[in-house]
Amino acid sequence: MASLKLHRQCWQAKVRIPKELRSRYEGREFIYRHLSTSDRRKAKLEADAWEAGLRLEWAAARGEAVSTSALRSLYQQLRQRAEAGEFVVESGDADPIELGIEHELERLSEQYEARDIPAEAEYRLAALQDAQRARAGRSIPRRAILEPTMREVANDYLTLWKTQHGLKETNTEQQKIATFDLFAGFLGDKPLRAVRKADAARFVDALRQMDPNWARSPAAKGMSWAQLQQKFGGRPKGLSDATVNRHMATLQALWDWALDREHCEGRNPFSGFQRKLREGRNTQGYVAWEPEELTALFTPPPKREDLTELMLVAMFSGMRLDEIASLTGADVHHSGPVPFVRVTDAKTIAGNRDVPLHPALSWLIDRAKENPKGRIWPAFNAEGPGKKPGADAGKEFSRFKASRGFTRRAKVFHSFRKNFVGQLERARVPEHEVAQIVGHEKKGITFKVYGDRVMSLERKAEIVKLIDYKGLSSCLRTARHEQQP
């Protein structure tokens, strides 16, 4: 702990030098610094900052691991101390501070002559040289060792990205963090400015040969890039084109952001690697369930009553999985004779809407009364940054559909929404009306700007009643009744 002593109207700080390092200071036991203030509180802050720099310098001198950010702090502290006159040598008419800095540079040169200079000494050398330039009024060169690492720049980018107004809690932040962690592991402790096109190309090549399920391994979180490659790399089929595209788009956006802040320069090395996704080839859209597939899903129904109910709500409302799983008793309302569900936390503005209850879902009114304030289906765990239960419900449905022999990735819970929209399309319901029920943006400038802002609930109810799973009515009724105690 630095001690303070008032000396000639200003404070002086004193720190004890570790015994094993006193030879670096000509055998002295203490090191002193005249502080720039007569205010004790300010002097204490200045002394603490000075001592922190010394501790970092001494840790590096002992061979202890010191982070790049700590070494940059060491540079700043040592340069400030040198410019402030901590190293003074009296000789004739020459500037004693400049002579003192020159003396320290000579000592550093003698200490590491004919030896590889360690990182700590490299930062000390830069600090003394730049202090010397500053005292002489010369410009200070930009030094690569003082650049923030790629991961540090990414942290600043994320901090500002999260300040966007209206940004909802999603998994997007976690996906960005995963991308930055992967590339930082690949790049090492280098600045973003050091990234070249060849680096980005090698990174993409590695991703295209990386086990698609690598992130599901709990052990992967603590692995270095080299360990990840050893365990999960070199596969004949790696991450999907969609996943690789997402990683590269994230890094491309980081570079563009950093370019405006002079953390890098030149053309974006991450551009040009995205592959065009082709429907049916390297990407698949979700498709509706066929009637016989729906029969197989509900004969018999899932053992979990809550999962059965979620499936039925999706089929007769067109709602998204997370919208359904997040419903509370307070979300179920009546407007005259029309019962409806109010969606208020959708992923888009258009998604916030009122959805009339189909007669086949009249039981949902009683289910809502059972838990008027909490979630209607509380057994599904709230997961992710937004604490949404949809992810847990989705996993449960994936296990269930696989148990019925459905493994095709295009057939998922979202396929029920396809069934709903498909029926309304075949019934020739206008697209802009369907959009207001399922929570899509209206198509075209005319409807967006001049169309009715809100379609009446009664008209929505008329449309929803058109949903009819012909040939499945008894199957669906059985599915619902079998869940009753």
The model's pLDDT over 65-123, given as tens digits with 9 standing for 90+, comes to: 777 777 888 888 888 888 888 888 888 888 889 999 998 898 888 877 766 777 778 88
| Residue 308 in this model has a pLDDT that exceeds 80 | yes
Nearest to 36 by CA among 47, 26, 28: 47
| For the chain, percent of residues with pLDDT exceeding 70 | 90
| Residue 417 in this model has a pLDDT that exceeds 70 | yes
Domain of 296: which CATH number?
Answer: 1.10.443.10
Q: What is the structure's pLDDT at 449? A: 42
Where helices occur in 429-472 by DSSP H, the ranges are 431-438, 445-450, 457-464
Domain contains 244: yes
Do residue 155 and residue 137 come from a single domain? no
Do residue 384 and residue 425 come from a single domain? yes
Q: How far apart are CA 155 and CA 307, in angstroms?
A: 39
Q: How far apart are CA 364 and CA 111, in angstroms?
A: 80
Domain contains 285: no
Q: What is the structure's pLDDT at 170? A: 60
Q: How far apart are CA 23 and CA 37, in angstroms?
A: 30
Domain contains 453: yes
Q: What is the structure's pLDDT at 282? A: 42
| Residue 182 in this model has a pLDDT that exceeds 90 | yes
Domain contains 64: yes
Are 49 and 99 in contact by the 8 Å Cβ rule? The answer is no
Do residue 132 and residue 162 come from a single domain? no
Do residue 335 and residue 443 come from a single domain? yes
Better-predicted residue by pLDDT, 3 or 441: 3
Q: What is the structure's pLDDT at 380? A: 93
Q: What is the structure's pLDDT at 446? A: 44
Q: How far apart are CA 234 and CA 95, in angstroms?
A: 62
Domain contains 63: yes
Least confidently predicted of 43-47, 383-387, 402-406: 383-387
Helix axes 68-84, 119-136, angle to 10 degrees: 40
Segment 143-160 shows an average pLDDT of 90
Q: Output the DSSP codes for 339-401.
A: EEEEE-S-SSTTT-EEEEPPGGGTHHHHHHHHSSSSBSSTTSPPBTTTTBSHHHHHHHHHHHH
The length of the chain is: 485
Domain contains 267: no
Q: What is the count of structural domains for the chain?
A: 3
Domain contains 281: no
Nearest to 78 by CA among 31, 125, 139: 125
Domain around 368: 291-481
Q: How far apart are CA 398 and CA 4, in angstroms?
A: 67
Segment 228-253 shows an average pLDDT of 93
Residue 189, number of CB atoms within 10 A of its CB: 14
Q: What is the structure's pLDDT at 479? A: 54
What pTM was computed for the model?
Answer: 0.57
Segment 403-409 shows an average pLDDT of 90
Domain contains 41: yes
Q: Please name the residue that has the structure tokens 């391994």.
A: 217
Do residue 53 and residue 113 come from a single domain? yes
Tell me: cis bond preceding 337? Omega within 30 of 0 counts: no
